[in-house]
Structure 1
């Protein structure tokens, strides 16, 4: 592994005690802590004690554990002319994590590891695995007859069959299609590395309610292997236990949720659409997304599933619209920012004829927000 600077970024309304296990894992695997930082992006509900806790971890381990409180965020954005970004990213939402991504990139991180506060470290070499992001490496490149791969199929479950367990965001219209995957040994440039999870998999609410799946292990054929997407295949990717190279920063925009569309509040597709857009651009630019280790324990925080089902319902419909457009459009550009702006424009041309006025209005607002993010990245990074 080349010597990279790696930033672990989370947002939470609790003390990020899970960082301690990540730090201990780095030490146990003989990595020098001076290459790492740990960033907690606060929100309106985050207790003030979190700052003291992070400072205490910094002193205990002689490393950088930063807390970025609400006022810190405001001051930082004002000092860099990012007032539009501050207005755009809602409080009391995971989208404040975007600010942590951008700060880490500005500070010189090569790789950003995005964590939820319920992603618990396992025994894998976390830094060693995530540190390969941005490198060409040996992978099992997957292709699928319908161009959709289900990374949830890499796990064993307590249930007798995992056939109908799909990663959250996998389009329903593609679930009954032929999924005879082919795997080929290849060398590919891995720009996003998505770790897998034991215990509670990242699935949609319908699956949680119907099946209550629990992942017990990685299937034997995928142990210590990476499965990477070929240049025509999509697969959901999220922002928990996931690392991306900071060259992709213009693409790593967790889309704000909570808007009302056709009388329903939308949620749970913020990172899913981020992933789909990034994969479309990587297909143009030659990189790939890979799935495998490190494997974390997803000790999922308590959720109101009935409420989440209401929020996910309209997203399932919109997901089909976005997937259809994504598969149909052709994008171009010689850099990631160029490709991202071209994708925004190609989507704008398509959504004018999609669905109801409410749906079109939401998609237009989403694309406008993506431009706000692209402008912020341009100011900070270029």
Structure 2
């Protein structure tokens, strides 16, 4: 029988008045340069969703916990069926472990992102109650907030990966700032160096390398926002509603790089339904690796085509969700979503993909009942 070693919140050293326990989850398909994570304190556990399935070099630090496929199955049991592999969605098992072990805050980090001094403190400072925080509200109904405020030299906007092309115009992108109060349950930290943009955008226009995070406190997204999963933090209770969707195939063509964007759209809609908030801005990590853009463009093609019908389904399903915990709301969302997919007025191959994603989400929901 496989022995599974996982961290315990009881082993964490208190950080002054902030008694929240923290766990970092990083999916790894191969060995990273471990110095990228030097700013993570040695008492903060790092759960590695081992997507090499046992081929990583031995952990270089005592606070690193590898979980290969056998260990994942041993830990999750029948809920192992909800845990994808071979994509960024492989991190779900790490989030599940951190949730089940009782960590207060979970941080999702990519293996090519460099943490910097103050990274953890900024994440923790963004989570929790806020009063009069700067809220960014789209002027257009059901509009989007762009977490990148920098622009190209000619003044053209730089849009984060996943912000739909249907909403990319100066008129539709307009926002206003209003004070907002409430509880922040998810914080979206951004990245510099290699910005997280759509591949076709980089081929067409390049990138500025700087997201343009304004000074001051984190801002609150009062509309839709592309939730890149490379550098986010969230409270334990939100875990059941924060599911990174797996890669699937559309007539043999891989649908990818939607895992955090589509999953994050659902999470944001459920946060809106629950009356809670999503913050964005800092901390900024250094994004150090650019996948070959030609490959990125191929992987993102179906995401661009299928996003808007998917969001319409999500919106209709969320509108039917009853109040409750985030586990209960996600469970009810999946039930309504599955019902709607069966009669959705979309092409048959779209419907097949949406149905497959619904099956995955159903397995995740059952893991939290």
Say yes or no: does 1:14 pair with 2:16. no
Match for residue 375 of structure 1?
366
Give the direction of change, closer, same or farther, for the CA distance of 1:244–1:273 in structure 2 (3 Å limit).
Answer: same
Match for residue 150 of structure 1?
145
SS in 2 for 1:82: helix
Kept after mapping to 1: 8 A contact 2:147/2:280: no
TM norm structure 2 = 0.87
Range 173-182 or range 364-373, more displaced: 173-182
What is the CA deviation profile of residues 124-179 of structure 1, one whole-angstrom value per residue up to 9, with x for unaligned ones?
x112112235410242111112233333432x35x304633211111111112422
Work out the CA distance in 2 between the residues paired with 1:162 and 1:268. Answer: 27
Name the one with the larger helix percent.
1
How many residues end up aligned between the 2 structures? 347
How big is the alpha-carbon RMSD for the aligned residues of Structure 1 and Structure 2? Answer: 2.2
Kept after mapping to 2: 8 A contact 1:333/1:342: no
Give the unaligned 5+ runs of structure 2: 1-16
What is the CA deviation profile of residues 197-229 of structure 1, one whole-angstrom value per residue up to 9, with x for unaligned ones?
11111111111211220323635xx21321112
Match for residue 55 of structure 2?
47
Residue 193 of structure 1, CA deviation: 0.4
Kept after mapping to 1: 8 A contact 2:84/2:92: no
Give the direction of change, closer, same or farther, for the CA distance of 1:171–1:104 in structure 2 (3 Å limit).
Answer: same
SS in 1 for 2:367: helix
Say yes or no: does 1:229 pair with 2:217. no
Kept after mapping to 2: 8 A contact 1:194/1:242: yes
SS in 2 for 1:216: coil
Work out the CA distance in 1 between the residues paired with 2:352 and 2:156. Answer: 36
Work out the CA distance in 2 between the residues paired with 1:14 and 1:334. Answer: 39
Match for residue 305 of structure 1?
293
Match for residue 4 of structure 1?
20
Match for residue 39 of structure 2?
25
Give the unaligned 5+ runs of structure 1: 28-32, 59-63
SS in 1 for 2:217: coil
Work out the CA distance in 2 between the residues paired with 1:347 and 1:292. Answer: 31
TM norm structure 1 = 0.84
Work out the CA distance in 2 between the residues paired with 1:273 and 1:112. Answer: 19
Match for residue 75 of structure 1?
74
Q: How does 1:149-168 map to 2 (within 5 A)?
A: 149-154=144-149, 156=150, 159-161=152-154, 163-168=156-161
Give the direction of change, closer, same or farther, for the CA distance of 1:83–1:100 in structure 2 (3 Å limit).
Answer: closer
Q: How does 1:111-130 map to 2 (within 5 A)?
A: 111-123=105-117, 125-130=118-123
Match for residue 281 of structure 1?
270
Which of residues 300, 303, 323 in structure 2 aligns to 1:315?
A: 303
Which of residues 226, 233, 240 in structure 2 aligns to 1:243?
A: 233
Q: How does 1:242-281 map to 2 (within 5 A)?
A: 242-261=232-251, 264-281=253-270
Work out the CA distance in 1 between the residues paired with 2:218 and 2:210. Answer: 18
Which of residues 343, 346, 360 in structure 1 aligns to 2:336?
A: 346
Residue 196 of structure 1, CA deviation: 1.3
Kept after mapping to 1: 8 A contact 2:144/2:167: no
Residue 190 of structure 1, CA deviation: 0.8
